[in-house]
Amino acid sequence: MDRRLTAIIVAFMVEVIFRAVYPYAHLNATAYTLIARITELSIILGIASNKCGIAVKNIRQEIYLGIYLSVIFGLSVFALDFLSRHFLGFGLLCHVLGSQYVVNPILFFIAACCIGPLVEELFFRGLLYAWMRQRLSILVSVLLSAAIFASMHGNISIQSLVQLTGGIIFALVYEWRRNIWPGYIIHCLANLGLWILPLIHLAV
């Protein structure tokens, strides 16, 4: 079997097991999620390290590109929020952002803004999207992988649209660069923003 497909199946099965066991685990959600993601990271790298999108000629260049794209994306979001306040009378950000209760900020930062995005980019773009692209068109691969990405983040809600949009952006960046690193940086900073911005919004 294709190593990429093997890694997809095994990592998915491990995720299902972790979700099934969670109600019986005596750990807080963040610590449990971090253990799950580290386990999945080990599986992906162990099975398909050369086929998961981490290989790149110049990683520094890809990281700088990710930061540059993150700035553009962030400015676009704030511009959209400003325009919605001006023309609609309310800001879209306040309807999208949801405040998260965090017991341990350092643990949350590691799990949600560092390790989590890495595993998700490896799985959803480096493995799943790349596997789809060998068989499907760009449009179908982007939309399908983004829909699966969004569906793995909970029930249908306004947050699902955020996840779907993110999935489309990450897939398009992967299609362009053929590695996970720019998408990973965007993903990290987006998760950081979704955590920090509600705190700033509530403080003002």
Q: Quick one: average pLDDT of 36-44?
A: 98
**Residue 203: pLDDT band with limits 50, 70, 90:** very low
Three-class SS of the chain: CCHHHHHHHHHHHHHHHHHHHHHHCCCCHHHHHHHHHHHHHHHHHHHHCCCCCCCCCCHHHHHHHHHHHHHHHHHHHHHHHHHHHHHHCCCHHHHHCCCCCCCCHHHHHHHHHHHHHHHHHHHHHHHHHHHHHCCCCHHHHHHHHHHHHHHCCCCCCHHHHHHHHHHHHHHHHHHHHCCCHHHHHHHHHHHHHHHHHHHHHHHC
Residue 198: which domain range? 3-203
**pLDDT tens digit sequence for 133-146:** 999 999 999 999 99
Q: Dump pLDDT digits (tens) for 83-131.
A: 888 887 776 676 666 667 788 999 999 999 999 999 999 999 999 999 9
| pLDDT exceeds cutoff 60 at 182 | yes
Better pLDDT: 155 or 65: 65
* Total number of domains constituting the chain: 1
Please tell me the pTM assigned to this model.
Answer: 0.92
